[in-house]
Amino acid sequence: MALTVVQEAHPPFIPVGAHAMTIVIEYPPGDPGTPPHRHYGPAFIHYQDGNSRDDVPVRFVVTMLCEPDQPMLVLVDDEELEARRDRRAPRAN
């Protein structure tokens, strides 16, 4: 048997009414991906290829848990993005 543990996590508290979703994300070469966003719950991502590659298609699997009655993904507007600027990792220029 060939088995590789990709990720292991202790389950978070899951309230009644919450839901989970596992999706495959695929972007063509050079696609900028989803605009800045956030999730109402944890997201577990398994990258099957490089992130943000511009020479090959990018494909990865995401499992997300979401609080009851909340959207799975919320786009972040410019004002919120600026307010959370200190939470992002620095990027090389």
Give the residue among 93, 68, 77, 74 at the shortest CA–CA distance from 15: 68
CA-CA distance, 46 to 19, in Å (whole number)?
19
Span 11-59, pLDDT tens digits:
777 889 988 999 998 889 888 888 888 888 888 776 655 566 788 888 8
Q: For residue 83, what is the enclosing H or E element?
A: helix 78-83
Residue type, 87: R
Kindly state the DSSP code that residue 16 receives in the 8-state scheme.
Answer: T
Give the residue among 32, 36, 34, 13 at the shortest CA–CA distance from 23: 34
Where does the pLDDT of residue 88 fall: very low under 50, low under 70, confident under 90, or very high at 90 and above?
confident
Span 54-75, pLDDT tens digits:
888 888 888 888 889 999 889 9
